[in-house]
Amino acid sequence: MNNAKLIIVSAPSGCGKGTILEEVFKNSNAYYSISCTTRKPREGEIDGKNYYFVTKERFEEMVKNNELLEYATFVENSYGTPAKPVDDAIAEGRDVILEIETVGAMNVKKARPESVSIFILPPSVRELDRRLHKRATEDEEVIKDRVAQAAGEIAKSADYDYVIMNDALEDAVRDFELVVSSVKANDNRADKFKAENMKEIIEEVLKNA
């Protein structure tokens, strides 16, 4: 039987989801869904690897042609998941990881209820701000916009299936891998990371926002 899973991953910008997934992909043959975006590439980002960087016109065309599984706007840019590569990978029996923001995540969950959603929490919004400054890929104004979005996104974490925290990186990678492995085995090893069991931790992070 094809046990391939569609795994949705969200986290506030700068939380470390890219860093965690880079580690996870060292030991996984899952398909990493490459999104389309109208955002400009950051230094070092490669078209066709990190994203397909497209014009607004091309993006609108993809929406019109129903080529996207979901799409959303984030800090003035459009982002969307091409549907065909996702469906092809699942049909081949490969897990698929979608690294997308909260609106798109909820739309995928609605369209594909069998998917699994994982939210990655930062230890605090202040730490998020520190990480974005350390990464230094955006200017001050964009960092401010991204941090301003964070509390609203964290509040939505309760709607995900699982919630983990990226405090120490090794722990977050281990917890993420445990959730995926438990979901695939359909057992209860990751129950402590179910959103309903993470309520107090989510509240704590929001209180410290």
Give the binding site for ligand 5GP (CB under 6 A): 13, 35, 39, 70-72, 74, 79-81, 99-101, 104
199-207 and 140-155 helices cross at what angle (nearest 10)?
140
Among residues 5 and 131, whose Cβ is nearest to ligand ADP?
131
Residue 35: name its binding partner from ligand 5GP, ligand ADP, none (Cβ under 5 to 8 Å by kind): ligand 5GP
Residue for token pair 């990226």: 166
CB of 146 to ligand ADP, least distance (A): 8
100 binds, options ligand ADP, ligand 5GP, none, Cβ within 5 to 8 A by partner type: ligand 5GP
Q: Which partner in ligand ADP, ligand 5GP, none is near 72 (CB below 5 to 8 A by kind)?
A: ligand 5GP
Q: Which residues bind ligand ADP (CB under 6 A)?
A: 11, 13-19, 131, 134-135, 166, 168-169, 172
Least Å distance, CB 162 to ligand 5GP, is 16
- The DSSP letter of residue 194 is B
The residue written with tokens 């492995």 in the block is 181
Q: Taking the CA atoms of 11, 14, 16 and 19 in sequence, report the sign of the dihedral they define.
A: positive
Greatest alpha-carbon span in the chain: 50
Q: Quick one: 106 or 190, whose CB is closer to ligand 5GP?
A: 106
Which residues, at least 6 apart from 7, have a Cβ–Cβ distance to it below 8 Å? 30, 95, 96, 97, 98, 115, 116, 117, 118, 180, 183
- Residue 19 binding partner per list ligand ADP, ligand 5GP, none, with a CB distance cut-off of 5 to 8 Å that depends on partner kind: ligand ADP
| CB 164 to ligand 5GP: min, Å | 16
122's contact among ligand ADP, ligand 5GP, none, with CB below 5 to 8 A by partner kind, is none
140-155 and 125-135 helices, crossing angle to 10°: 140
CB of 63 to ligand 5GP, least distance (A): 12
160 binds, among ligand ADP, ligand 5GP, none (CB under 5 to 8 A by kind): none
In the complex with ligand ADP, which residue's Cβ is closer, 10 or 90? 10
Other CB atoms within 10 A of residue 167 CB: 13
Q: Which residue has the CB atom at the shortest distance from ligand ADP?
A: 16
Partner residues linked to 72 by β-bridges: 79
Nearest CA to 26 among 173, 193, 164? 173
Residues whose CB falls within 8 Å of the CB of residue 15, separated by 6 or more in sequence, listed in order: 120, 121, 122, 128, 131, 166
3-state secondary structure of 7: strand
